[in-house]
Structure 1
């Protein structure tokens, strides 16, 4: 995932028209919720161009990075799961298949993304594949890996990158040494790894997945990326032995951990995971104002970049998942989902079709003029998650699952699947300077956003 200073807008100047109309939503009517989700999803669909002649399936136009397209197709998988409307399944399947990457590895590591490929980027596609398996999207067939195998391959490749040499473990942000931020260990990469491991454990019941989920959780806690009261911070530098923590909090970090903890509780029914999950839900209070979700680090000061504008989508997504697989959480989650969905829909009142959603849901129905994939996806996820009481629940290998397991998926991916020229002293010096610059940039950016 690559943060950008570009605001997440797709020709915002051309769709600034807004009126009193908005997406109508009765939070107590499944039919109304489905109609609202349909309207919001149609607007999101218009922003995707990868299925057009000459374009690349699975890519969004600038300024969006590759990872967010994977996240968007997860939203479309969720849309089908909650509403039964399969109109986006074809483009979803096409995109996921096209982005599998090198046919020798099949682990969402396409060659054209190598220069910016992070563990979190790969993981968002892996989580989309995991959702496809859980929600019983038919496998690709024709010799292609199953959705479950793609999630397994993502997990296996990341497990093999676990860095015990620095900070006692953890995943680095970047996969390849030549990418800026290689020495940064960020919470979202490790949280996504935890999420996938926990959900694979729930799907397959294989103990090794549970062991890795526990290992990732304990490492984050020991390092300080997760606090004892279940707040999740952005990341840390392994060049300082992870002693300095960037303490900005983002909704998506809470979201991916919430789903993983819910999955672990669902399988184990263990009080340990119940306490962890309840603490995590309580910890999300920092992201709610009068029960309405807000990205506290950047919404009020107007500094959310393109990536950050989508983050509420993932907390919304995983709150719905949590309410399904850990039903005892519903009394805590329902008020937050309902208030947030109502507020989000109320300000989806811009554009020529009056369904363009802004970033801020706390504006009492006033659209803030920010439009894009992230804003629209976040509104879609929070609205459709209201349908969780009707959802059948994620499938497993023993309970309705149709996706084929491949425990060896991803095991043939080499540590560095690219050949490079010999590294010179000058290259090393340059890399050190670039690494220093990116880390300084992260810290300065953190100060800037909270100032």
Structure 2
């Protein structure tokens, strides 16, 4: 070694690192179910390790500096289990998912309710309806998973805001929260998707009516263009929703696409044709926007933050959601399957290369890279597991999502949500003039930022 220069030593070190990285790349044949299942196991192991390491004071389902991410992780695991039959973490997921429903079984416990946004609570509703549709084991003596999802939905429609913009769901729940003035795509699109799924599962037409109402409001606002199917991230009540923030995120498109697919599958006749047109329109814009041609056109990318390496912990998760929701769309709307399949397979082939971190198959941020980029954590593992699950969903020759007929154990039973606010100090005292002034200042700031891309300030909650 004495005869080697520093440059030669450095080159040898890089070669060794690259060799070690290549040795830990996943071996995936995207048309072979066994190899895809094994890849999911390899990705899930560090995901669950990160989960336990980040539990706040050991509280099941409560992660450091965030809450909803655990709920979306449970949703992702349940989807993987349902198509892989790997039940390694089912007991943990079942217990922790129920634990976080709180004393009132509405995912609005007083420990968190004072700082939650509508999107935070909504993700737990998506997790529990996923449990119902996959026939995930119910918890004895507790409400069904569908009942929990319905409790979230019923609480959220109670916050449908008619004081501005002709309706819509606000991003934040309390007037004193920064972002209260915003009405955004994920809160409204997520509620739309949850309502559509509850409609199909329970066959309750009230959910159909609400899904229609949320879609109609979205397209009448700047959030959803019903001709181009461009989805804005948010709009502001401060100017009565006159304009939208055009920042693009995968999960916004995913929620509206998912809900439209469920509505197509559940409805008939002219209604079905209407929803099929909407599914096709959303798919076309999604593909054009988030599958960049410079990476081959079949690898998913969150284009707003990935090129500048500025994705926060929320945004690291987004691609996994869209991947699973694209697969669901392919199942519920069979005419889309041939268009969707190459996108999901191409992304999974890319994931196989980037999940090569250290000796533990850690997954990176940018799926279009040919190696691990150094990003690590629960969120990127979860996104990669979503990519795995999406391909498994297409490889599984079973029925589509269950409904109450095929899974009667998950039938809905009413839960008294108590308005969702009874335990909060904010709701049990009148809003003072000071509160209103503080809220006005915060919302003015938020409204000003919205026009210039307020999405960069997404909270980690």
Pair in the same fold by TM > 0.5: yes
Contact 2:175 2:436 in 1 (8 A): no
> What is the rounded CA distance, in whole Å, between the counterparts of 1:345 and 1:401 in structure 2?
38
Contact 1:152 1:410 in 2 (8 A): no
Shift of 1:413: 2.0
Change in 2 beyond 3 A, CA 1:396/1:310: same
Post-superposition Cα deviations, 1:338-389, rounded to whole Å, max 9, x if no partner, equal 0011111211111222x111010112x1222112222111111111211123
Alignment of 1:35-434 (within 5 A): 35-49=38-52, 54-62=57-65, 65-101=66-102, 103=103, 105-142=104-141, 144-227=142-225, 228-269=227-268, 270-285=272-287, 286-289=289-292, 290-353=297-360, 355-363=361-369, 365-389=370-394, 390=396, 391-406=398-413, 408-413=414-419, 417-420=423-426, 421-434=429-442
> What is the rounded CA distance, in whole Å, between the counterparts of 2:237 and 2:147 in structure 1?
31
Equivalent position to 1:24, from 23, 27, 32: 27
> What is the rounded CA distance, in whole Å, between the counterparts of 2:197 and 2:326 in structure 1?
15
Contact 2:196 2:263 in 1 (8 A): yes
Q: Which residue of 2 aligns with 1:8?
A: none
CA RMSD of aligned residues (A): 2.1
Unmatched 5+ residue regions in structure 2?
1-16
Change in 2 beyond 3 A, CA 1:410/1:273: farther
> What is the rounded CA distance, in whole Å, between the counterparts of 1:326 and 1:422 in structure 2?
48
Contact 2:246 2:453 in 1 (8 A): no
> What is the rounded CA distance, in whole Å, between the counterparts of 2:49 and 2:362 in structure 1?
11
> What is the rounded CA distance, in whole Å, between the counterparts of 1:60 and 1:414 in structure 2?
22
In structure 2, the residue corresponding to 1:319 is in which secondary structure?
helix
The number of residues matched between the two structures is 426
> Which protein is bigger by CA-based radius of gyration?
2
Contact 1:51 1:91 in 2 (8 A): no
In structure 2, the residue corresponding to 1:185 is in which secondary structure?
strand
What is the TM-score normalised by the length of structure 1? 0.90
In structure 2, the residue corresponding to 1:111 is in which secondary structure?
coil
Unmatched 5+ residue regions in structure 1?
1-15
Post-superposition Cα deviations, 1:63-104, rounded to whole Å, max 9, x if no partner, equal xx1111110010110111010011111111111111112x2x
Q: Which residue of 2 aligns with 1:10?
A: none
> What is the rounded CA distance, in whole Å, between the counterparts of 1:220 and 1:52 in structure 2?
36
> What is the rounded CA distance, in whole Å, between the counterparts of 2:221 and 2:246 in structure 1?
12
Shift of 1:394: 1.1
